Amino acid sequence: MAKGMNKVFLLGHAGKDPEIRATQSGVTVANFSLATADRQKQGEEWVDKTEWHNLVAFKRTAEVIRDYVKKGSKVMIEGKIQTRSWDDKDSGQKKYRTEIIVNDLTLLGDSHGGENGSGSSRSSNSGSIGRTSGGYSDSESSGYNNQHEYGDLEITDQDVPF
C-alpha cells in the first residue's frame, strides 16, 4: 500500500505569547495558537473567517519561538497534524486535541511595528545545519546550546508566494 502524506503549511499571526516549558529530560517545548484568515463571499459582501490552530514545537525550533515570537507575530510554518487523546481525570471521558507539530518556522515581518516589523525573515527547522532560503536550520545532533547569528534577511511582498 502507498505511503500517506501529512504536511501542513500555515501563514498567520500568533494569537498569544507562546508558552514555553521543558520536559523532564530537558527538551524545550513551545505551545502557541496561530490565527489564519480566509476571505469568503457571503451574498454581496466579503467576510473574513478566522481559523485558530494549536501549534507545538520542540528543541531548537521551540527556542527560536521563545526568543522571537510574541502575540501578533507573523509566521509561516510547515508541520504535520497530530491528534492526541487522554482520559480526563475528573470525568473519565476521553478527550482529544488536534495540534500542528512544527517542523519549520519562518518569522516574517509584520505590519504591527513589533519586534519583527523590520521585514526580516528567520527560519528554524529540524534539518541539517546550514543556510536555507529563509534563514538557518538546526539538526537534532547540533547541540541546542549553540548560538547562531541570524542576520537580517530582507524580504518584500514579491518574495512571499501568496
pLDDT for the residue numbered 41: 87
pTM > 0.85: no
Residue 38 to residues 11, 50, 73, 91, 156: CA-CA distances in angstroms? 11, 6, 18, 36, 22
CATH number, domain with residue 97:
2.40.50.140
- The verdict on residue 40 lying in a domain is no
As a whole number, the mean pLDDT across the chain is 75
- The verdict on residue 104 lying in a domain is yes
Residues 95-134: tens digit of each pLDDT: 999 999 999 999 987 444 444 444 444 455 443 333 333 4
- The verdict on residue 39 lying in a domain is no
The residue segments making up the domain with residue 59 are 8-34+51-159
User: How many domains does the chain fold into?
Assistant: 1
The set of residues, in sequence order, having a beta carbon less than 8 Å from that of 69 and lying 6+ positions away, is 14, 17, 18, 30, 32, 75, 105, 107
Tell me the mean pLDDT in the region 127-145. Answer: 34
